[in-house]
Amino acid sequence: MEKQSDRRLHGGHYLGEISALCFLHLPPLPHLSSLPYLLAGTGSQVLLYDLESVKILRSFLVLEGIRVHGIACGLVDCKEGSVLSVKIAVFGERRVKLFNLRIEIVPEFRDESQVCFELTLFHSLPKFSHWVLDVCFFKEDIATSSHCLVVGCSDNSVHLWDMLTSSLILEVRNPERCLLYSMRLWGDELQNLLVASGTIYNEIIVWKAVLQNCTPRLGSSVKGHIKSSGAFCNGFNHYGQQYQALKICRLAGHEGSIFRLAWSSNGSKLVSVSDDRSARIWPIHAEMEVSDISGETVDTGSVGPVLFGHNARIWDCCIVDALIVTAGEDCTCRVWGTDGKQLKMIKEHIGRGVWRCLYDPKFSLLVTAGFDSAIKVHQLQASLSKAPQEQVVEVTELIDRAAIFTACIPNSSEHIGLMDSSKSEYVRSLCFTCEDSLYVSTNHGYLYHAKLFDTGDVKWTRLIRVSEEVPIVCMDLLCRDGPKFSCDVEDWVAVGDGKGNMTVTGIVCDLCTPKVGVTYTWSAAIERQLLGTFWCKSLGYSVEESSIMIIQLAHKEFILWNSVCGYIFTADPRGKLKLWRLCNPIESASQNSVTSNNVSLIAEFISCFNIRIMCLDASTEEEVLVCGDLRGNLVLYPLLRSILVGSCFESEVKITPLTYFKGAHGISSVSSILTAGFVSNQIEIRSTGGDGCVCYLEYGRDRQKLQFIGMKRVKELSLVQSVSSGANPVDDLTSSKYAIGFASTDFIIWNLMTETKVMHVLCGGWRRPHSYYLGDVPEMRNCFAYVKDEIIYIHRFWIPESERKIFPQNLHIQFHGREIHSLCFVSRDLHAGFDGKHDLSSRSSWIATGCEDGTVRLTRQSYLLTAFTVKSIDNLLDMLYSSGVENWFSSQLLGEHVSGSAVRSICPVSKIHTIPADVTHMPNGTERQPATWDDRENPFFIISVGAKRVITSWVLRTCMIDDKGEASDGVQDRTGTGFPSMSFQWLSTDMPTKYSGIRKKAEDLENLVGTTKASTVTIDAESRSVFPERKEMQLRTCAGDIYENDWRYLAVTAFLVKDPVSRITVCFMVIGCSDATLSLRALILPSRLWFDVALLVPQSSPVLALQHAIIPIFQPSEDNIQIGNAYIAISGSTDGSIAFWDLTESVENFMLRASTLHTENSIDCQRRPRTGRGSQGGRWWRSLGTTPKKEPSKGSVSMRVEEGTSFLNNVACGTSSKLNDPANTPTGSSQAIFTASLESEVNTDDSSSEICEISPLHVLSSIHQSGVNCLHISDGNDCQSFNNGFLYNLVSGGDDQALHCLGFDLTLLPTSSEPQIKAVNVDNPTTKFEDTKNLNHCQLNKNYRIRFLYHDRVASAHNSAVKGIWTDGMWVFSTGLDQRVRCWYLGEHGKLSEQGHLVISVPEPEALDARACGRNHYQIAVAGRGMQMVEFSVSSDMDGRDADGFC
């Protein structure tokens, strides 16, 4: 007898759209924030934030399964000195709940106190008959001691509720019966209550409740539903008096639905926003003589300014004093004056727009929230005068707290009249050295120093003049923070002039006046051939820190005395780079001028592209130099220490590139480069460019190639000039926090972590001379200078330490801005121990999600608890959710699909399967070629597919080396919070070229399925039709497929296979397309080559769900030796059928053939993700073989390859641009280029040029009455059936609201005898749903059989379509559009029995995934319009065993 189990479903925190905002103002008490607190509604929760400390305090679940639409706060009740109480009303749909928020200051040790917040339910109002649109609190009636709440509903009625007696005391309904889109209430008592109603007729009705002399009606207590009644029409009793609705005015003018209304503080103005993209200001005159109490219009109203500027619908608005704030679907928040002039625009949200905005005039805080889950806080710092109540204030400008300096170079005032470029002096270059120090060079050869003072004055110092009438064309600055160079030099300034001469000057600071120290001058190039000069900080700092250095080279020690100042590079127009060494003139230290004898040319770097170098960085530890040029190319050179510290050479050393990456930034210029050591023999490189992207590459010494590993596109910038890590730079280059660059003519500093704009200056563009300087916290300390009309404009925002409040800020994690279609857990098998001790890894979960906007994100959920010991799962869950602290920790963007094409399906790939070792026979005596996967033995991938037939793959980053010298598996703590982190790198992208289709031509399909004899699907020794009853199968026309580029991938499943002989690894993917095709694709690793392996035909309907099963096959013996795997794919289609496909032969044949290719010499690293400007083109495909064959068993494949290019140039991401132009091929490069043609290798094989076709193993038709939305199969390794077979459970859900469970196993057949079990007729491998019980199927040309053992059906599992399902063979979890997660126990013979359900906060859920964290403890993730985690636990097993495992 089964022991009763305690099953618990815990709803976690919702991560999705923010639907309500409200400020909570508390009295100024010690230990309380000086800024207001913020209440935010998301899903069914209310979040409480402290704006001063910028952190979340508590999270409260207030409405079960109902989205919070609005929050209202009452007056603060100061009961005691340390205890406060606030009434809070929360409403959503037809429900209103009243809560009591208790704030208590609890003293702790060391004279410190903690503020505790506790939210308790005070009263839940009965369910209203219409949606609630607004609520507001009335002030307390002293005479009656009553506390009232007013509720406005969508039927244009208001309800007055007594909170003390919990009774409805008044209901007033406007006589105009019409539904409303919006309503806003104003007033603190019934006598001055104003109601503004936005009707479905695009009009606004303003009305109020007035007295009417009628028979009194007593107030009544209402229980249950509040229902409409004829007796309640137009008037109700309120303490012996009758009220009715009186219309004040009707406001017309909008041409669309009115989404939001807002009253001014005194009720004299009303702001409305609409579907017509406009906001309107309406003056309201509520005080008037009531001449008609029947409800007729007294005043038609008049419209004020109309605010146009939004590019889409406007969702929200607010009006405070002389400011109006609007938020819209175009993701912008705009600030307006009451005169209709736009003062400021903020665009920091993504997706479907900004849903809510809120402004606090006392602290000038503007809060915005949207669909992307982010809550942004800005401090406008506007200087606005407080106007009288009836006076309209015109605000002309919104001034940020920034100092603006203007200055001119000293000689510019000497020129009067029209500017003559040949005579007038103007600025050529600017360089900040600190927030108040600036170097300026001019076209007359002058170098100036400008000292900035807080008063706005500028002190100029003329330092040097390079030569007469020669312009300075380039300048670079090397600053020193900390120990100084020799001679106490603060800054080294290098300038190059038009004659090709270089001048390097050491600047010594003497009090406030800088002085020139040592100066070097030499000829670096011929006239007009010197265009750039670059300091390299890594070279300068590594050599000059001590007076004596000992450098070990080749087991020999070289003692380097203090004879070197540093190194500097110069560049010419053709990409040649020169490295110069500057020697310290010890014997002439008193001299300010140094001859060229102290400067020596030690190396020349030859460009392989002959394009001007724009930036560079070097690493002395790794001995490499990386350069970026004007056309987006990156070139890597060797930079040996022996060259840097060796003696003078008779002639300079000419160095050729080690490798290069062509078009890393498309055809746009590279603006900055930074290198860092990653792991042993690997270097990480980060570059920025004019394509608005930050690119990440790796260089491996073993392979000596640059590999593209990732890219972040900063959509707000068209040119990313550089990136910064802020005050705490780390070695990990991917942790960049700030992007600095330009958007058209504007200079912008963008926070990449919070997705907020730090600085925005209209400057005229990046082509003007400019410079910037960032402090430790760029939000509070930044400087920018630019030149316009011979005037230097300097914007300095520098907040003292005493005022360190960082705004703008992002209070909540920024998530997807649109609907999520797919998700999956990213698990590295990190489980908690069964001893009750929880490590860091077991307290974190990573979830990959794919969105409608084409983005793929990796989100981490962490339990914010320190090391602890728990006695049970329930104890752990109670600790987690009773704390009320949100546990969504971070969300990082992995990348996006091409052109933002929607991501429809995501799957993780981690486990490697090995093909049989005895498959060693090669055709024509061909030997296998050894190959290795250089990442790790068990790589972890994420595969995503979506619109425009895009496939993108990511791989978990290579293991890292910690401070102890121990390697980790890529999961480590980089945040300093004690929680591990995980990072993926982009691997490859594949998509078709324009006008290319996967489907065959119509005539080929007719030959395929038109008649039985012509069918090429082989099941036995002869060809038979898969669907003989469909002799005349309906074929959609394919003539237009070559012009159709709107097909999209709908589903994907993938697995890894490794050949033990050649050690080659292949990722196989089964992909379903919307054109009803199902294909088997292959990605060879690490060469990143894409192949089309097979078509799964025929497929009459598009596939919506895919799963696979890798079934081990064992030899029937006592030793139980595994002899191979069976690769089975399972598909669910829109016609309700489920099909089984045997991929084993195609997989093994492909592995056999792929192992003959020299893939180790053909790794295509010259590809970047196809996003951003300058992305590369499409792909072509070509067959591997040339001789046609009819037998599909030969396993023919085709590879995506560009026509006319070498194997090296073949597809890694499916692009068509050539890597190596013969005319531009570098002659001095040491990069290994494999140019052998692919066909020269594969033509020795006589395989088919046609893609092989795989027929279904079995089709279960009409198992669902409509589309199969989701499938999941249990891992059968732990469920072994009799006869050495493995039992698998397949569960499915569809649009028919049903769940199905099908059990099957696979066993090996004796080779000497025929199978004893009656098999299904192979001529008709299609079975009706009713015939699937006790079904045995035998694949006659295989030595194994698949048996269908049982099935079970739950007809109405959900109240709507089932969208997600998961099982492990014991428990089944499902979700549907009814917004519920249901738990099912999988009993004997697949019988499903529901064990519980939970209402979730995710609207319109579309995907579900789960993972087992321990014995009978599961984490369930549900995604749709947002994402939520659900915990399921069972205190006892179904068989009576104790559940002692937990996550």
Q: What is the pLDDT of residues 40-73, one digit of tens each?
A: 999 999 999 999 888 899 999 999 889 999 999 9
State mean pLDDT over 1096-1101: 87
Handedness of CA 1145, 1148, 1152, 1157 (dihedral sign): positive
pLDDT higher than 70, residue 786: yes
Question: pLDDT tens for residues 617-637?
Answer: 998 888 899 999 999 999 999
What are the phi and psi torsion angles at 1415 (to 5°)? -70, 115
pLDDT higher than 70, residue 820: yes
**What pLDDT band is residue 885 in, cutting at 50, 70 and 90?**
low
**What pLDDT band is residue 756 in, cutting at 50, 70 and 90?**
confident
Question: pLDDT tens for residues 842-860?
Answer: 557 899 999 999 999 999 8
Return d(Cα 756, Cα 971) in angstroms, integer.
28
Return d(Cα 380, Cα 366) in angstroms, integer.
7
- Mean pLDDT is lowest, of 502-506, 536-540, 721-725, 867-871, for 867-871
Helix (H) or strand (E) holding 1: none
pLDDT higher than 50, residue 320: yes
pLDDT higher than 80, residue 979: no
Residue 243: partners with Cβ closer than 8 Å, 6 or more residues away: 170, 172, 190, 209, 210, 211, 212, 235, 236
- Mean pLDDT is lowest, of 407-421, 731-745, 1134-1148, for 407-421
Residue 267: partners with Cβ closer than 8 Å, 6 or more residues away: 186, 187, 192, 194, 284, 286
pLDDT higher than 60, residue 805: yes
Question: pLDDT tens for residues 1311-1329?
Answer: 544 434 333 433 445 665 4
Q: Look up residue 486 and give its amino acid.
A: S
State mean pLDDT over 969-979: 42
Helix (H) or strand (E) holding 1047: none
Question: Would you list the DSSP string of 870-886?
Answer: -SSHHHHHHHHHHS---
pLDDT at 844: 74
Handedness of CA 269, 272, 278, 282 (dihedral sign): negative
| Residue the block writes with tokens 């089984």 | 1140
- Beta strand 1089-1096 with 1252-1254: parallel, antiparallel or unpaired? parallel
Strand partners, 10: 1431
- Report the predicted TM-score, pTM, of the whole model to 2 decimal places: 0.82
Return d(Cα 1401, Cα 449) in angstroms, integer.
60
- Whole-angstrom CA distances from 1402 to 42, 284, 563, 1372, 1425 are 10, 40, 68, 20, 6
- Beta strand 45-50 with 55-61: parallel, antiparallel or unpaired? antiparallel
pLDDT at 688: 95
* Greater model confidence, 1089 or 1013: 1089
pLDDT at 186: 94
Return d(Cα 613, Cα 573) in angstroms, integer.
8
Cβ–Cβ < 8 Å for 526, 497:
no
602 phi-psi bin (left φ>0, alpha ψ -120 to 50, beta other):
alpha
Return d(Cα 289, Cα 83) in angstroms, integer.
47
As a residue count, the chain comes to 1447
Taking 3-state DSSP, the helix, strand and coil percentages for the chain, each rounded to the nearest 5, stand at: 10, 45, 45
Question: pLDDT tens for residues 1140-1155?
Answer: 999 999 999 999 888 8
How big is the CA angle at 816 (ends 813 and 818), to the nearest 5 degrees? Answer: 140
Return d(Cα 773, Cα 809) in angstroms, integer.
21
Average pLDDT of every residue of the chain: 76
pLDDT at 1183: 36
* Greater model confidence, 678 or 1360: 1360
Return d(Cα 1207, Cα 1295) in angstroms, integer.
46
pLDDT higher than 60, residue 292: no
Beta carbons within 10 angstroms of residue 931's beta carbon: 23
What percentage of the chain has pLDDT greater than the value 90? 39
Beta carbons within 10 angstroms of residue 665's beta carbon: 30
Tell me the three state secondary structure of residue 1003: helix
Strands (E), 756-879: 756-762, 770-774, 781-788, 791-798, 809-810, 820-826, 844-851, 855-862
Cβ–Cβ < 8 Å for 1140, 1128:
yes
**What pLDDT band is residue 1166 in, cutting at 50, 70 and 90?**
low
pLDDT at 1436: 59
Question: pLDDT tens for residues 378-419?
Answer: 888 654 434 433 333 333 334 456 788 899 988 765 544 444
- Mean pLDDT is lowest, of 532-536, 692-696, 1122-1126, for 1122-1126
Strand partners, 1089: 1084
pLDDT higher than 80, residue 895: yes
101-130 burial, b at 16+ Cβ within 10 Å, e below that, comes to bbbbbeeeeeeeeebebebeeebebbebeb
Most confident of the ranges 874-883, 898-907, 1341-1350: 898-907
pLDDT higher than 80, residue 711: yes
* Greater model confidence, 886 or 405: 405
Return d(Cα 534, Cα 569) in angstroms, integer.
5
State mean pLDDT over 451-456: 86
Return d(Cα 199, Cα 177) in angstroms, integer.
10
pLDDT at 211: 83
Cβ–Cβ < 8 Å for 1140, 1257:
yes
Return d(Cα 429, Cα 418) in angstroms, integer.
23
Cβ–Cβ < 8 Å for 18, 370:
yes
* Greater model confidence, 687 or 396: 687
**What pLDDT band is residue 111 in, cutting at 50, 70 and 90?**
low
- Whole-angstrom CA distances from 1252 to 1047, 1189, 1247 are 22, 10, 10
